[in-house]
């Protein structure tokens, strides 16, 4: 019997990746060899610039930028991280700002291309009519995709200071944070009814805002498509193994058909915010994966 194909893999710790990383869920023809990188976004630039891994979690905005600029990645129709986003925009409790006061304000975000930032800007446009260039964005990370250049209303000057510290010092008016969002009473949400707005958005659209998906390297797709198909099946099996309430309203997203609307929405938001050089259709985004996965990912 031939040895299984080993795929160099980066996935963050999620409930639906735990059994993959422990080896409890595995396959005969493929082995996922995990590299632990924390925070996981540190794997994104090596993946899209150097194809450093065979299979990797990747922010959806980075994935779309990579596709638009011809990077060697294949976006699989598999979401591994999604969340509501409006509550990720915070301000200091002693100097709170309202959404209307964001015009001309300085708002910090790790990178302008960060997917959480894209979602927050999309919601500000939907809810309050704010355009991306109404706000002065202050960042400290460069884009993961080397060919992308930030718009001229984005300034990279945070340096080593944390976003909460910049809020404490009054050097920025608001900030967008994701997994590192502080929970103490020192900070308050810019959108006070964020939860209610998120709930209404979900009822309108039927899915949670997508943060991270999974990509395969173009090289491994060429030399080992069977291994990529097996890896995709493993992702679905691991997700299905997570115990969830029967009435859980926010299922994980898999499959080309299920992801068509989210991709269309994200592409439109990215174009409006200057994150993409041109429009991408779901067909263009997923054609390479269709060629590898076939009917496995309808």
Q: Tens digit of pLDDT for each residue in 182-210?
A: 988 999 999 999 999 999 999 999 999 99
Q: How far is CA 43 from CA 32, 53, 115, 128, in A?
A: 16, 9, 15, 34
Closest CA to 113 of 50, 162, 48: 48
CATH of the domain spanning 5-83+208-297: 3.40.190.10
Q: How far is CA 203 from CA 113, 121, 290, in A?
A: 27, 20, 29
Read off the pLDDT of each residue in 57-63 and give the average, rounded to a whole number: 98
Please check whether the two domains, 5-83+208-297 and 86-204, share a CATH topology.
yes
Please, is 55 exposed, middle or buried when counting C-beta atoms within 10 Å of its C-beta (0-12, 13-18, 19+)? buried
- Per-residue pLDDT of 74-109, as tens digits, reads 999 999 999 999 999 999 999 999 999 999 999 999
Between 158 and 199, the higher pLDDT residue: 199
- Per-residue pLDDT of 5-31, as tens digits, reads 999 999 999 998 999 999 999 999 999
Q: pTM for this structure?
A: 0.95
Q: What is the pLDDT of residue 34?
A: 97
Q: What is the pLDDT of residue 159?
A: 72
Residue 226 reports pLDDT greater than 80: yes
**Rounded CA separation 144/243 (Å):** 34
Q: What is the pLDDT of residue 298?
A: 67
Read off the pLDDT of each residue in 276-286 and give the average, rounded to a whole number: 97
> Are 143 and 65 a contacting pair, CB within 8 Å?
yes
Q: What is the pLDDT of residue 2?
A: 74
Q: What is the pLDDT of residue 186?
A: 95
Q: How far is CA 136 from CA 5, 144, 181, 244, in A?
A: 48, 21, 21, 41
**Rounded CA separation 118/266 (Å):** 8
- What does DSSP say about strands 154-156 and 136-139: parallel, antiparallel, or unpaired? parallel
- Per-residue pLDDT of 116-137, as tens digits, reads 999 999 999 999 999 999 999 9
Q: What is the pLDDT of residue 253?
A: 87
Q: What is the pLDDT of residue 246?
A: 67
Residue 245 reports pLDDT greater than 80: no
Residue 152 reports pLDDT greater than 60: yes
Cis geometry, peptide bond prior to residue 133 (ω within 30 degrees of 0):
no
Q: What is the pLDDT of residue 1?
A: 57
Q: Give the CATH class of 86-204.
A: alpha beta
Q: What is the pLDDT of residue 250?
A: 64
Q: Which are the contacts of 138, defined by CB distance < 8 A and separation ≥ 6?
A: 106, 107, 108, 109, 155, 156, 157, 158, 166, 172
The confidence band for 145, taking pLDDT boundaries of 50, 70 and 90, is very high
> Are 94 and 172 a contacting pair, CB within 8 Å?
no
Q: What is the pLDDT of residue 296?
A: 67
Q: What is the pLDDT of residue 244?
A: 76
Range from 1-5, 138-142, 148-152, 185-189 carrying the lowest mean pLDDT: 1-5
**3-state secondary structure labels for all residues of the chain:** CCCCEEEEEECCCCCCCHHHHHCCCCCCCEEEEECCCCCHHHHHHHHHHHCCCCEEEEEHHHHHHHHHCCCCEEEEEEEEEECCCHHHEEEECCCCCCHHHHCCCEEEECCCCCHHHHHHHHHHHHHHCCCHHHCEEEECCCCCCCCCCCCCCEEECCCCCCHHHHHHHCCCCEEECCCCCCCCCCEEECCCCHHHHHHHHHHHHCCCCEEEEEEEEHHHHHHCHHHHHHHHHHHHHHHHCCCCCCCCCCCCCECHHHHHHHHHHHHHHHHHCCCCCCCCCHHHHHHHHHHHHHHHHC
Beta bridge partners of 214: 57, 76
Residue 52 reports pLDDT greater than 60: yes
Between 41 and 160, the higher pLDDT residue: 41
Q: What is the pLDDT of residue 94?
A: 96
> Are 31 and 231 a contacting pair, CB within 8 Å?
no
**Rounded CA separation 58/115 (Å):** 10
Q: What is the pLDDT of residue 158?
A: 72
Over the chain, what is the mean pLDDT?
A: 94
| Domain boundaries, given as residue ranges, for the chain | 5-83+208-297, 86-204
């Amino acid at each position: 019997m031939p040895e299984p194909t080993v795929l160099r893999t980066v996935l963050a710790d999620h409930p639906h990746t735990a059994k993959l990383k422990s080896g409890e869920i595995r396959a005969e023809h493929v082995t996922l060899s995990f590299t632990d990188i924390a925070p996981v976004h540190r794997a994104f630039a090596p993946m899209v610039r150097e194809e450093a891994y065979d299979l990797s979690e990747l922010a959806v905005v980075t994935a779309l930028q990579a596709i638009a600029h011809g990077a060697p990645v294949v976006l699989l129709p598999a979401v591994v991280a999604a969340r509501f986003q409006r509550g990720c925009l915070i301000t200091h409790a002693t100097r709170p700002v309202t959404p209307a006061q964001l015009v001309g304000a300085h708002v910090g975000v790790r990178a302008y291309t960060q997917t959480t930032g894209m979602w927050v800007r999309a919601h500000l446009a939907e809810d309050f009519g704010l355009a991306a260039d109404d706000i002065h964005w202050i960042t400290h990370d460069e884009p993961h995709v080397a060919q992308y250049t930030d718009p001229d209303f984005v300034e990279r000057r945070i340096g080593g200071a944390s976003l909460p510290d910049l809020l404490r010092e009054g050097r920025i008016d608001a900030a967008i944070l994701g997994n590192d969002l502080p929970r103490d009473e020192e900070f308050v949400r810019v959108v006070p009814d964020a939860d209610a707005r998120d709930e209404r958005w979900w009822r309108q659209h039927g899915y949670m805002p997508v943060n991270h998906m999974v990509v395969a390297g173009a090289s491994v797709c060429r030399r080992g498509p069977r291994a990529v198909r097996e890896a995709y099946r493993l992702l679905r099996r691991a997700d299905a193994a997570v115990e969830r309430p029967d009435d859980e309203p926010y299922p994980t997203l898999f499959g080309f058909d299920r992801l068509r609307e989210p991709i269309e929405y994200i592409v439109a938001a990215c174009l409006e915010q200057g994150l993409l050089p041109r429009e991408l259709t779901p067909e263009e985004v997923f054609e390479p994966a269709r060629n590898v996965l076939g009917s496995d990912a309808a």
